[in-house]
Amino acid sequence: MFDSGVGGLTVLHECLVSLPEEDFVYLGDTAWFPYGVKDPEALRARIRSIAELLLGGRAKLLVIACNTATSIGEDVAREVGETHGVEVVPVVEPQAEIAAAITDSGRVGVLATPNTVESGAYRRALESQHRALEVTEVEAPDLAPFIQDGSPFDAGVLEMARAYCAPLKRAEVDTLILGCTHYPLVAPMLQRILGRDVRLVSGGHAVAAAVQRTLERDGLARSLAGEGTYSFLCTGDVDSFCDLGTRFLQMPLGEVERVEIPGAG
């Protein structure tokens, strides 16, 4: 499993709860954070290198726990997965399936990074759900970096969130896709701004369910009782990853190994 930073730990948390018997390795590419404003072609090369590194460790499944990485480079990760005979589970499609299923009005919002919105990945995924949906997408370039920094919430952050939510409120969405795995950390703030009747769809629950279905379908689910292991790799500063990562995972991280991404700039 990999993400641009610690946001994907919200996905790992749900997987650890839903699939406690499985072993997980998580890579946080903190040296390259944020993905949301990176050059798409350079990012695709980076995703290829990360997929090669993780699948070289004989993983049985690769999870892209990052909305931007899914939007920009899911096809690249799948190419690497095919060479290793490994299935890839992205984060966009599972969220789109849930959002399309639970919206009553058909008005769905997407709050995401610029790269994710510009890719059109969520719009395509929602259009494939065979429902007449009115989709409102909003770019939130400053939200993930704020969360990744671990800065305290203040009045300025609240105003930033309100500005991002304003187009969603005008569109009267009844369902909002949190299109970045960092965003669940500010879900209470977003819920207050949008109102309690707006359903928030995060990546964690959606991806954990998709992982479970995929493992069971392919006969790869672990049947042994007891808890599996989880370990961490990061490409940036280990101490900051540990400090902030504990907040995201809501569990102890243990030792984190710093790694370089071969062949990537």
The pLDDT mean for the chain works out to 92
pLDDT in tens, 231-258: 999 999 999 999 889 888 888 898 999 9
170-173 long-range contacts, CB within 8 A, separation 24+:
171/107, 171/109, 171/134, 171/136, 172/105, 172/107, 173/105, 173/107, 173/108, 173/109, 173/136, 173/198
Q: What is the pLDDT of residue 264?
A: 56
For the whole model, what pTM was predicted?
0.88
Band the pLDDT of 265: cuts 50, 70, 90.
low
The set of catalytic residues is 66, 180
Cα-based angle 249, 252, 254 (whole degrees, multiple of 5): 120
d(CA 64, CA 69): 7
Domains of the chain, CATH where assigned: 2-90+205-258 (3.40.50.1860), 92-203 (3.40.50.1860)
Q: What is the pLDDT of residue 205?
A: 87
pLDDT in tens, 62-86: 999 999 999 999 999 999 999 999 9
pLDDT in tens, 144-188: 888 877 667 778 888 999 999 999 999 999 999 999 988 988 999
Compare 35 and 147 and report the one with higher pLDDT. Answer: 35
Q: What is the pLDDT of residue 263?
A: 67
d(CA 201, CA 187): 10
Answer whether residue 225 shows pLDDT above 90.
no
Q: What is the pLDDT of residue 248?
A: 82
